Structure 1
Amino acid sequence: MSNPDTDQDQILIVEDEPKIARLVADYLQGSGFTSHHLDHGDAVLPWLEACRTRPELVLLDLMLPGTDGLTLCREIRQRWPAVAIIMLTARVEEVDRLLGLELGADDYICKPFSPREVVARTRAVLRRSRAASEPAATGSDLILDEEGWRALADGHDLGLTAVEFQLLKVMMHSPGRIFTREQLMDHMYRDHRIVSERTVDSHIKKLRRKIAETWPEREVIRSVYGVGYKYQPEE
């Protein structure tokens, strides 16, 4: 296993078929990435926990020994929202594809695939992920200080609670994506406590009010009737 703590772009390959893993790793290396390989689902979360610098993206097989890919997708998305996920699978049924994306996957590639396609998809997902997380150069934007658990609007600290910060971070990492209340609850409370959907609405209301104190004429958290909420920065 490679040392996960490097300064290069890192990709974690979670695949139990050695030939596929080697082929993808070779193409990623040839394209300027550093890859790490795990072949058992039970090893993934401990490996990520141990990383001082986590990989930018996980190529995640659906059918794995031990913990399956869908469960891992859910756990990775809840614990590390900034880590991008592309799911790899031989199961082409639409329900599997939709379920993977519902659990937080950024993209989905069906086997057999071209390794060049994997590299191209990896680059595309990373471009979207970085564009969503990089602050605007103008300084007139909403910026997350993830280490300090702060959100800054035009340089002003919004004074968010931990739950409010987590909600905002999840939505900002996927601008335009609609999150259901249930999905947001999973990110708010990782112990899976039972709360009502009105709890989400209450936290969103407080979060909007704090943003409005700095930006009274801008609405960046928008309701989608009958579904949930999304972060939609103004054009």
Structure 2
Amino acid sequence: MLLVVDDDSRVRTVVSWQLESEGYAVQVAADGATAWRRIVEQRPDLVVLDLSLPGLSGLDLLRRLRENGDRTPVVVLSGRSGEGDRILGLDLGADDYLVKPFSPGELAARVRSVLRRTGPAPVAPAPRTGLRIDPASREVELDGEPVPLTAREFDLLAFLAGHPRHVFTRAQLLEQVWSSSQAWQSEATVTEHVHRLRHKLGHRFLVTVRGVGYRLEP
């Protein structure tokens, strides 16, 4: 939410329309005291602030904010065009200073620029780690990278993944994955496919249980 503070209703209207057309939610205040309450209660993301306000002036409001450790971004929008006023406003902690008369489009651009500079740093997405198996697309990823598997390699991996930590003998895997219990279908076929999977996936997932068979560690 952005807060527009100006004692001129026409300025408030023009600025509000421009910022709302940019997709921002906007609240307004016509004097410094009301603006202070809005800032304290609503915590706006940025304040567009006129310096010539009745009661609590814009400069005093800005000074109070910074003295209280409030780092809410402030874009000053003022009819005071003198260099001294601009320097004072910036020295008091304004993030930008625009002189009236102004272009609403330029004000919106300055608001966007200040929000980019003062907003929280974007958080990089955590890298995808581990093993991901998608049965529908028959795709496998390891630590976010695709792993090309043959049809039978995928079938074996998917079956073991569907029964994590369950130990299967080679004969059981032949029957379940190859749909075969025939003697001519050697159990060495299972051993060879496990070896290929380990070559592609590493050794952290497929575990050999000596004298029994294999299991998949999730």
With normalisation by structure 1, the TM-score equals: 0.51
Q: How big is each residue's C-alpha offset from its partner over 1:127-155, in whole Å with a ceiling of 9 and x where there is no partner?
A: 0002xx3276499xxxxxxxxxxxxxxxx
Find out whether 1:48 has 2:35 as its counterpart.
Answer: no
Q: Quote the Cα distance in structure 2 between the aligned partners of 1:56 and 1:41.
A: 17
Match of 2:89 in 1: 100
Alignment of structure 1 residues 64-103 onto 2, 5 Å = 64-79=53-68, 81-103=70-92
Q: Which residue number in structure 1 is paired with residue 121 of structure 2? A: 134
| Rounded Cα–Cα distance in structure 1 between residues aligned with 2:7 and 2:118 | 26
**Structure 1 CA distance, aligned partners of 2:125 and 2:29?**
41
Structure 1 residue 23 displacement after superposition: 0.6
In structure 1, the partner of 2:171 is none
Amino acid of the structure 2 residue aligned with 1:103? L
Matched letter for residue 100 of structure 1: G
Name the structure 2 match of 1:3: none
* Deviation per residue, 1:16-65 (Å, 9 max, x gap): 100111011001110000110000112122222222xx111000001001
How far off its partner does 1:81 sit? Answer: 3.2
Distance in 1 (alpha carbons) for counterparts of 2:54 and 2:17? 23
Matched, 1:119 2:120: no
Q: What is the Cα deviation at residue 76 of structure 1?
A: 1.8
Q: What is the DSSP-based 3-state SS (H/G/I as helix, E as strand, rest coil) of the residue aligned with 1:109?
A: strand
Whether the aligned pair in 1 keeps the contact of 2:50 and 2:78 (CA below 8 Å) is: yes
Q: Distance in 1 between matches of 2:7 and 2:103?
A: 18
Kept in 1: contact 2:3–2:44 (CA 8 A): yes
Residue by residue over 1:178-227, the C-alpha shift from the partner in whole angstroms, topping out at 9 and shown as x without a partner, is xxxxxxxxxxxxxxxxxxxxxxxxxxxxxxxxxxxxxxxxxxxxxxxxxx
Counterpart of 1:23 (choices 14, 19, 25) is: 14
Contact 2:65 2:71 in 1 (8 A): no
- The question of 1:61 aligning with 2:50 is answered yes
Aligned residue identity for 2:41: A
Q: RMSD across aligned C-alpha pairs, in angstroms?
A: 1.8
2:38 maps to amino acid: W
Q: Distance in 2 between matches of 1:79 and 1:35?
A: 24
Which structure 1 segments of 5+ residues have no match? Answer: 1-9, 140-235
Q: CA deviation at 1:87?
A: 0.6
Contact 2:50 2:76 in 1 (8 A): yes
- CA deviation string 1:94-150 (max 9, x = no partner): 0000000000000000000011011000000000002xx3276499xxxxxxxxxxx
2:4 alignment partner, SS class: strand
Partners of 1:125 and 1:23 in 2: CA distance: 20
Q: Which protein is bigger by CA-based radius of gyration?
A: 2
**What SS class does the counterpart of residue 58 from structure 1 fall into?**
strand
Task: Write out aligned runs for 1:141-152 (5 A).
Answer: none
- The gaps in structure 2 that reach 5 residues or longer are 127-218
Identity value in percent: 40
One-letter amino acid of the counterpart of residue 83, structure 2: E
